[in-house]
Amino acid sequence: MRTIYTLLAALAASVLSAQSPLSLTLEQVATGLTRITDIAHADDERLFVTLQAGTIRIIEPDGTVLPTPFLNITSAVNDNGNEQGLLGLAFDPAYAVNGRFYVYYTAGTGNGTSRVSRFTVSSSDPNVADPTSEEILYTYPQPYSNHNGGDLDFGLDGLLYVGFGDGGSAGDPQNNAQDLTDPLGDIIRIDVGGETGWEVPADNPWAGLGNDTLPEIWASGLRNPYRFGFDRLTGDLFIGDVGQNAFEEMDFVAAGDNSGPNFGWRCYEANTVYEASGCAPQSSYVAPITVHQQSQQGWCSIIGGRTYRGTTYPRMEGLHIYTDYCGGQFYTLRQNDQGAWVRAQVLASGQFGFSVIAEDADGELYVGNNSSGILYRIKDACPMPLPEVSAEGSLLTSTPANGYVWYFNGELIPGADAQTYEATESGTYYVVADQGTNCQLQSNSVEVIITGVNGLQTNGVRVYPVPADQQLRFEGLPGDAQVLELRDVTGRVVRSVPVGSTTGLVTIPVQDLPTGSYAYLVRTKASGLLRGSVSVAH
């Protein structure tokens, strides 16, 4: 029997999504949606799109736009200015029971008044709301026609968050964003769970002070938080705050943080002093997690997005995706293991006018364009499964692809362009496989340790001798191991041995098995499956 290398194959499946650069593409879903401002779902298969003039349209899963608006309040909406109109929509977490939803719009004439209202769906048709059911919950007059904010959404705490701009003009001339006696430049947080009206949550940062500070204010120091979005899994909040003339910023509040973060406007635009008179030290304000310089990419109004929690595109999982109204580039944000925020450009759309990124009931993402009236689905441009590398002895094999480039310790291996590669040195190996349609995807990493000792060790399980002639011996099985299976290349189970409480030595006879390669699977109670490869030779 020959002596082979020992190989420790650590298949790092958990980090696959971080290994291949992600690129996005947009798929057209619906057209003819004049001046899209927001997208929401009612926890079912429909999408609801707000149009700036004052209507809400329903989009069916196949892209059909229902001819009758879900709601039409154009007679009450002031959309005369570029930033006025019907701006936001949110469905009550208990919508299936109470039929209630919330809108933010500009009412009145001239500069208008910001208004948050509650409506209910009609009792006769789930695709039509009752326009007479309006209950006006919150109003505040706008000193200028721009910087209306307009987003509203429910957090995982069941409370309603509403964003207000600083009141407009340029440079926040009234210093509203640093004034806690009005909601301008702030995000308010209110409890709308009662039959009517709203209440201040007891854990709001300024609840119960009894002075002129508005107790509904939850965060301040914002210029125009036009679009923000909660992570539906963690409850974290990402806020896209539109800048003045130099920077666009993304702000962040971790779930459960009710400390009253102040993001610094107008003292600071992003991390740069704007008007420091009367301001506290910069350390007193919450810094953005990322900043885009407007002049570098033609940005003008950041569009805060959503964190992907769908199931269709695994490589997008956990990434916050956002864009800009003027630039049209799409970026992702994620935190690395050290807690630093890492961003990456994933699409240069070349389009002007993106106004909202939102999700459907399943967590899939959509983007609406205010200028073109088109609703798109956001997709991974390379959605095919990532290549996987398996190890048999020192032989590494990739799943099939159009082409292969092997790497050792992060460096290209010259001439290694076949589906298999024979490892000759200890270190980390992976393959970049050509999956077609300009998709070069990186596999899992395999750690190879060459020791010159008989046997094979994978995932802590030692198997010997390899190749085997009469029997295979398995050592180091986990304590909750239940069954040990041996499978041939077709996946057929050729041996199945109950492990029971034995975690020392388990032996499987193989003298009657054909020469060749086999996979073993260890089924455990808690850990799921452990896998490895062995060979038999007579």
CATH number, residue 1: 2.60.40.10
Same domain, 10 and 89: no
User: Where in the sequence is the domain holding 33, given as residue range(s)?
Assistant: 21-380
Q: Among 353, 380, 407, identify where a domain stops.
A: 380
**pLDDT digit string (tens) for the chain, length 538 residues:** 233 333 333 333 333 333 578 999 999 999 999 999 999 999 999 999 999 999 999 999 999 999 999 999 999 999 998 999 999 999 999 999 999 999 999 999 999 999 999 999 999 999 999 999 999 999 999 999 999 999 999 999 999 999 999 999 999 999 999 999 999 999 999 999 999 999 999 999 999 998 999 999 999 999 999 999 999 999 999 999 999 999 999 999 999 999 999 999 999 999 999 999 999 999 999 999 999 999 999 999 999 999 999 999 999 999 999 999 999 999 999 999 999 999 999 999 999 999 999 999 999 999 999 999 999 999 999 999 999 999 876 789 999 999 999 999 999 999 999 999 988 777 899 999 999 989 999 999 998 875 443 456 666 777 877 778 888 888 888 888 888 899 888 888 999 988 876 556 788 999 999 988 888 888 887 766 777 888 888 7
Same domain, 14 and 27: no
Cα separation, 423 vs 271, in Å, equals 49
For residue 32, what are its two tokens? 């003819």
Same domain, 336 and 191: yes
pLDDT at 411: 94
Taking the complete model, does pTM exceed 0.85, yes or no? no
Cα separation, 181 vs 253, in Å, equals 22
Beta bridge partners of 498: 483
| Side chain identity, residue 434 | D
DSSP states along 287-317: PPSEEEEHHHHT--SEEEEEE---SS-GGGT
Q: With 0-12 CB in 10 A as exposed, 13-18 as middle and 19+ as buried, what is 181?
A: exposed
Same domain, 180 and 281: yes
pLDDT at 8: 39
Domain CATH number, residue 300: 2.120.10.30
CA 52 to chain centre: 26
Same domain, 133 and 204: yes
Q: Is 162 strand, coil or helix?
A: strand
Same domain, 375 and 355: yes
Q: Which residues contact 496 (CB under 8 A, 6 or more apart)?
A: 483, 484, 485, 486
Cα separation, 517 vs 65, in Å, equals 55
For residue 356, what are its two tokens? 């909202």
Q: Answer for the pair 166, 175: CB distance below 8 angstroms, yes or no.
A: no
For residue 389, what are its two tokens? 């590398």
Same domain, 10 and 44: no
Residue 234 neighbours by CB distance under 10 Å: 14
Strand ranges inside 373-455, DSSP E: 375-380, 389-392, 395-398, 403-408, 411-412, 420-422, 427-434, 440-442, 446-448
Q: Is 202 strand, coil or helix?
A: coil
Q: With 0-12 CB in 10 A as exposed, 13-18 as middle and 19+ as buried, what is 273?
A: exposed
Q: Which residues contact 508 (CB under 8 A, 6 or more apart)?
A: 471, 472, 474, 484, 486, 495, 497
Cα separation, 515 vs 390, in Å, equals 19
DSSP states along 16-74: GGGTS---EEEEEEE---TTEEEEE--SSS-EEEEETTTEEEEE-TTSPBPSS-SEE-T
Q: Answer for the pair 535, 393: CB distance below 8 angstroms, yes or no.
A: yes
pLDDT at 475: 83
Q: Which residue from 187, 273, 174 is spatially nearest to 224, judged by alpha carbons? A: 187
Cα–Cα distances in angstroms (integers) from residue 59 to residues 8, 206, 439, in the given order: 52, 40, 31
Q: Which residue from 47, 94, 72, 107 is spatially nearest to 192, judged by alpha carbons? A: 94
323 membership: H or E segment, kind and range: strand 320-324
Cα separation, 200 vs 216, in Å, equals 6
Q: Among 380, 400, 427, identify where a domain stops.
A: 380
Ramachandran quadrant class, 264 (left: phi over 0; alpha: psi -120 to 50; beta: rest) = left
Q: Among 380, 398, 414, identify where a domain stops.
A: 380
Same domain, 317 and 441: no
For residue 142, what are its two tokens? 């706008």
Same domain, 398 and 531: no
pLDDT at 199: 98
End-to-end Cα, the chain, rounded Å = 9
Q: Is 222 strand, coil or helix?
A: coil
Q: Which residue from 482, 481, 402 is spatially nearest to 441, judged by alpha carbons? A: 402
Same domain, 9 and 46: no
Same domain, 238 and 291: yes
- Coarse DSSP helix, strand, coil percentages of the chain, rounded to the nearest 5 percent: 5, 40, 55
Same domain, 448 and 467: no
For residue 520, what are its two tokens? 């073993």
Domain CATH number, residue 472: 2.60.40.3080
Residue 95 neighbours by CB distance under 10 Å: 17
Cα separation, 11 vs 441, in Å, equals 16
Q: What is the largest CA-CA distance in the chain?
A: 91
User: Per the structure, how many domains does the chain have?
Assistant: 3
CA 308 to chain centre: 3
